[in-house]
Each structure stands twice: as structure tokens, then as C-alpha cells.
Amino acid sequence: MKHRLLLTTGGFLLLLVFAFGLHAYSAPNEQQEDDGYSQIAIFAKAIQLLRQDYVDGNKTSYHDLITGAMKGMLSSLDPHSQYMDANDFREMQDDTRSRFNGLGIEVSMKNGLPTVVSPMEDTPAAKAGILSGDQILKINGSATDRMDLQDAMSLLRGAPGQKVTLTLLRPSTKEVKDYTLERVEIKVQSVKNAHVLETELTGPFKIAYVRLIQFNEPTADELAKALDELQKQGMQGLIVDLRNNPGGLLNSAVDVCAQFLPPNTKVVSTQGRTTSQQRDYSTPSTTKQRPDFPMALLINEGSASGAEIVAGALKDLKRAILVGETTFGKGSVQNVLQLPDGSALRFTTAKYYTPSKQVIHGNGVAPNIRVAMTPEQERTLFTTRSSSGEKSPNEVDLVKTKDPQMLRAIDALKGVMIYAQQNSPKTESVKK
């Protein structure tokens, strides 16, 4: 009971002090193996020994030791769980508001290495030709094979104007190359390049195109405005480009689905250990209903998280044709809980399931029409789009020579619309 009293009245540090005085310490028996108090006593003893005998006393403050322990504890669970100090937590909040300092790459742990989920549009990483799937071997000469995700992210981010050298391995070609990039302040425009495609590509049909860069707070509203303008221009079909979209906020992804689905339609569900994590997410009842125009989604290995939720929902509900390659497979739910000192824990609490109960995590979302692209085609396409602003001046040539996925999506929509025209009810003339 003394342990309990100390936890409730004095908190964790009093327990540590109490544990340091346990001269008659003994190893836990089998009944004690998963008892919280005995395990915390072992942890406290370890801290005592490190503070007492570790060679470098500058590294043994309570703050440093416990912070290191929490980082290790979270990273041991899965690649997406992490401890964030107060600065890291503030940067994560900035991410969701579409502004931060860095190189412009979304990174996840894969096969023990920090791996590029996708480069972000109009950022140093995209302009340099970094691609989804590139593995980061070194950051400023420091090997990453023993880094956790948060340590890698801390090295990638920093003040604007500073340069960072990345050593990347491209698995598809086995090429290892150094990239020296300069950090900048990144303001991500989540909806880009909304326009009606050239008639040389689409023939008699008005097929529109829009890219979703990521899912943050303003994404759904920005998309709604873009769709309103495209409808005014007579849009008959739509291609939504989710390639290299690393995801973002769950609610934003659901609200984007609402632009294309009826109100109160379930688009994703989560399942975890507790009943609070068993939840269905549906489109809002107040979203404006749009015409049921034909749609295609472009996806690739860089489409992750929120992008996979949208792709999985629109595929399962037969609202869109998916063209491209299987998505990244990052379909787990992370909750972020702030701690009293301003730091935070980000940890996995559930997995996403599509409307047909397909698990996204580890599997990804497969396209209806598989179209592969070479690394050279990807590099040329995304570097050109990142550097050319909104609409590429040579869009027709770019699509025909470097974007087979886009070309196939256009053909698929044209086929759907031709079939619809041929099978639409004929209005009989009325004889007078």
C-alpha cells in the first residue's frame, strides 16, 4: 500500500526516490512479472545505477534518462508510435495547419530505415527528384539504421536556410545518391492544379483534373471551391490525383469523401482493443450533394493514410475507378495525448477498415487498373509539376510521354461516358 500512497500523493519522482532507498530489493517472481509497481521499481533502480556510475554525468539528468526511456518505449511498439518533446509536438500541430520548416518529405519507418512516403509539392525534396520509397541511409553523414523515427525527423527539420545532406538508396534501381537540400518554410497548398484538361487529350468530353497534396484542416473547403468552379466550366468527368499524397487528418479525408458520396455514407471504420476505438466514420449530413459524374483516382506507393481511406472508400462504394499502383499500406490510427510538460505521446490505438472490411495497414489499396511507371517517368513528372506551378505549359506532351497512369485514367473515363451516352434513354418525338 505504501507504493500506492506515493503514486497518488507524490507522483512518479517520489516513487523513484522511494525505490532508490530499497536496499532489500529482489527480482520479481512470476506473479509479479506484469505488476506495475514492481516493474517501476526495477526501472527506478536502473535510473539510480546510471546516475551513480555512468561515465558521463552530463547525460544522466532525470529529464534526459526518462525522455530517452519514453522514446525507446514508444518506438518499440511500432514504427508509427513516438514520444514528442514540446518542440516536436508544436511542429506536428503546425503540420496540420499546412505550415512548417523542413525539406518537404513525409517519412515513415520501413524495414528498419526511415523511408520516404512521398515528397511534397513545391518543396526542395520534390524539386531535387526524391521519390516515394527512397530509403534514407544517412543524414548529414550520420547512419540512420539505429535511429528511431523522431530522431530522424529532428535532424530533417530545423531553421530555414540550413542545408542538410541525405544519402538515399532507391530500391527499384539499387542506386545510392547524396542530395544536399536547403530547409525552407513550407506552406502546403493542399488542393492544386484544378482545371479542365485539353481537348487533345479528352476529345469531345470535358474531363477535369485536380491534385490533392495532403489532408489538412482546409483541404475539404479548398476542394469544394475548386469543384464549384469546375462545374461552372461544364465538367463531365473528374480525375483526382492522390499520387504521393502522404495523408494527414482523418476528419479531412472523410470530408473529402463527402464531396463525392451521399450524406451519412460510411467511408471508413476503426477497430482497436477498447470499445471506444470501435467506430464508424460517415459523411456529414449537411454536405452539398453533387452530380454523380464519372470519376477516376490516381494512386501509387506514395499514397498513404488519408489518401488510402479516400481511395478505399470510393473503390468499395463503386464511386471511382482506381488507376495506378498499390498504395503504401499505412492504415493505423494514432492518438496524440499531451503530457503536463508540453510533450506528447503519439501511439497506435486502432486500424482502419474500408467499407467492405478490407484492412489497409500492411496491405494498401489495390487499383482497379494497374499501370506502372518507371523511376525516370516519376522523377520527370513530379519534378516538372513541382517547378511549373499550377498547370504545365506542355501538358499534352507531358501526359502522353511521361504519365501513362493519367493517360489510362482519361481513356477509362471516356469509355464510361461513351457507354453512358449509347445506353441513355432515347426521347421519342411527339407527333402532333
Angle between helices 62-75 and 36-53 (to 10 degrees): 130
Counting every residue written for the chain, the total comes to 432
Three-state DSSP at 232 gives: helix
- Residue 161: C-alpha distances to residues 50, 132, 181, 287 (Å): 39, 24, 10, 42
What are the start-end ranges of the E strands in 81-226?
Answer: 82-84, 99-102, 105-110, 113-119, 135-139, 142-143, 163-170, 175-182, 184-187, 191-196, 207-212
Three-state DSSP at 25 gives: coil
Question: Does the annotation mark 316 as catalytic?
Answer: yes
Asked if 110 and 35 count as a contact pair (C-beta separation under 8 A), the reply is no
Question: Does the annotation mark 305 as catalytic?
Answer: yes
d(CA 326, CA 372): 10
Strands 237-241 and 332-338: unpaired
d(CA 28, CA 4): 17
Which listed residue (315, 330, 402, 414) is catalytic? Answer: 330
Which listed residue (78, 151, 316, 411) is catalytic? Answer: 316
Which listed residue (118, 132, 305, 332) is catalytic? Answer: 305
Lateral strand order in the sheet of 237-241: 191-196, 207-212, 237-241, 295-299, 321-324, 369-370
d(CA 233, CA 227): 10
Question: What are the catalytic residues?
Answer: 305, 316, 330
